[in-house]
Structure 1
Amino acid sequence: MARRKRVIIEYRHYNLPLNFPVLLLSGDRWRISEKKSGRLHFHNCLEIGVCHSDSGTMDFEGKSVPFQAGDITCVPRHLPHTTYSSPGQESLWSYIFVDPEELFRNMFNDAAMNFESPMSPIQNYRYIMNKKEYPKIYFLACSIIEELKEQKFNYQANVKGLMLSLYIELLRIHSAENQQIEEPKAEAKDTKKEENILMISNALEYIHKNYMQPISIEELADLCHLSVSHFRRTFHSIMGAAPLDFLNSTRIDEACRLLRSTEDSILSISEQVGFHSISSFNRCFMKLMEVPPRVWRKQTLQSEANSPKASILEFTGWM
């Protein structure tokens, strides 16, 4: 019997600017090939895309969704996906990457911690919306792109307002759709569940909010109403990583933010993100980032001083 090929899922870490955590990727460089990628990827922030031309397909874990010119995509963090164009085409895109919690933190204080919950796999999520059916979503997304391109006086304040309006519109759409599926849920109880992102979404959200605390695999399995062995297999098949490896990657992600934004010691940061020893923190950091935390901090601060453009770090698979 042939050995099953290992699925590789890339983790793309976007170093968003600390004072304005919004990044625009646009221009001719962002034409998507017709060649289907052999791997999915996910990232550490919310992705909003606008398709300007042509058509194609977005693959999510266990689901393929077609897109066309005029579509707006909204992909929450931690959701594996990939995009490819129709044969003979190269669709043109603009992408906005944003951390809603940080963007709205000063506007709503602690309430901002819940700002990405409707844009997560827990909900009955609509990944792609067309401008004909959702003209307001399309208008707001395009307006944000233009503001980020032109950078006129006070553009950051305007982008915050537009992003808040876009968020509220998405919240209304998803809330209405979730209400519509409440009744059919009871009929589907006896059907076999497909092993997709919905099965582990509670664990992903719990890790995102509680990574700094001790978390056991038994605790995560219980949140998903699965046995430990079933949870471990399901999580790995979806995310391409063991649950505790993913927990550590989340901790390192936050450590990177603290290394960039504070002068806290390496020891203090390791404790803040949930590591119980500096040695285990250093080993895990090296495994994912390929350099020690002290070196990473120095290189990143120097890079940001020389260029304000955020970098994208791609991690192929889970070492």
Structure 2
Amino acid sequence: MPAEQNSLLLERVTHKTQFRAISFHHTVSNPKTELVLYLHWHSEAEFLFLEKGEAIFKIEEQEFYLHAGEAIFIPPDLLHSAKGINESGCEFYAIVFSLSYLFDSCANPQFTRYLQPVINYGTRCTLHLIPGVPWQKDILEMLKRMYEESHKVPEYWELQMYGMLLTVWQGLYNNYLSGFETDCHYKKLSEQLSETLRYIHDSYGEDISLNELAALSNMSEGQFCRLFKKLTGFTPFGYLNRYRIIKSCKYLTGTNKKITEIAALCGFNNISYYNREFIRYIRITPSAYRKGNLNS
């Protein structure tokens, strides 16, 4: 299905099997096609490498202008899309993988050390990779090699692919992700707000007040709002509503519940407000989203 015809947010493409939690996708857009990657999200991390042309990739509220030979790293659970910026079209490939493909357990100390920055800081960890930076050039070359190897029979690349992805991640961690964990300010913020974030994730369906959230972090409301946005990139209620909308998508696609019931289950007591917020994040109505998912 052409990207511009697919209106779903939660991507329907299966990125992994029981045995391989990594997948590769190749996209070529026709000349004069503006939307080259529809708005969606998935629970896997992703590297998008632009092979030809130019494009603007939008991750949440950030925009990245990519030229051929550049790539972008997208952490899990972030809304993203892309559009071409000239009439010549573009070509790109995606390497999509579960974080558990790298380290399979939160109890694994390596999981905590090497993956926690992405889990903690989400959108802050998005990175535009360019060949002009030596360590980023190394990653770009490895990504190209991974995609080339993926055309072989899987049994011939499984172990090698795993090793190459670990090499990519080591470079990403050493030169970029580790900075979040060694930055005392960010580390302190993560610790201060961890209970609040857990509360949002566990109680998103309930009425939640700003006073409540600030109290969990032992801060004044003003200080809490400022520091929460510094850490996550969202205001507290922007983060909460986005989380509620994403959760509601799962109800829309996985149950037959009425939309009014889904809205209430996800913390929206006003159906009109739910519809407005859904359109704000998803760009279509809840009913259109459900219908598109059923027809895909």
Question: Same fold, TM exceeding 0.5?
Answer: yes
The answer on whether the counterparts of 1:101 and 1:113 sit within 8 Å (CA) in structure 2 is: no
Q: Distance in 1 between matches of 2:245 and 2:94?
A: 28
Partner of 2:21: 21
Residue 104 of structure 1 pairs with residue 103 of structure 2: yes
CA distance in 2, matches of 1:32, 1:137: 29
Residue 59 of structure 2: aligned partner: 60
**Greater alpha carbon shift after TM alignment, 115-124 vs 97-106:** 115-124
> Could you tell me whether the CA contact under 8 Å between 1:11 and 1:42 is conserved in 2?
yes
Find 1:148's aligned residue among 123, 147, 150.
150
SS of match in other structure, 1:12? coil
Distance across 2 between alignment mates of 1:70 and 1:159: 21
Aligned to 1:138: 140
Counterpart pick for 2:254 among 289, 303, 315: 289
Q: 1:132-281 alignment to 2 at 5 Å?
A: 132-133=132-133, 134-151=136-153, 153-175=155-177, 178=180, 206=197, 217=208, 222=216, 225-226=224-225, 231-232=236-237, 234-235=238-239, 241=241, 243-247=243-247
* Identity percentage of aligned residues: 11
Structure ranking higher on relative contact order (CA contacts 8 Å, 6+ apart): 1
Task: Report the CA distance shift for 1:164/1:31 in structure 2 as closer, same or farther (over 3 A).
Answer: farther
| Alignment CA distance shift 1:49-1:226 (3 Å) | same
Equivalence for 1:255: none
Shift of 1:85: 1.5
Q: RMSD over aligned Cα, in angstroms?
A: 4.5
Q: TM-score scaled by structure 2?
A: 0.60
Provide the secondary structure at the position in 2 that maps to 1:52.
strand
Distance change >3 Å, CA 81–CA 151, structure 1 → 2 = same
Task: Report how far residue 35 of structure 1 moved.
Answer: 1.3
Contact 1:123 1:174 in 2 (8 A): no
Match of 1:50, SS? strand
- Could you say which residue in structure 1 is the equivalent of 2:279? none
Per-residue Cα deviation, 1:293-316 (whole angstroms, up to 9, x for no partner): xxxxxxxxxxxxxxxxxxxxxx87
In the alignment of these two chains, the number of paired residues is: 231
Q: Output the TM-score relative to the length of structure 1.
A: 0.56
Report the equivalent of 2:263: none
Which residue does the alignment assign to 2:116? 117
Give distance in 2, aligned partners of 1:38 and 1:145. Answer: 19
Out of 129-138 and 173-182, give the one that drifted further. Answer: 173-182
In structure 1, runs of 5+ residues without a counterpart are: 1-7, 186-201, 253-283, 293-314
Deviation of the 1:136 alpha carbon: 0.9
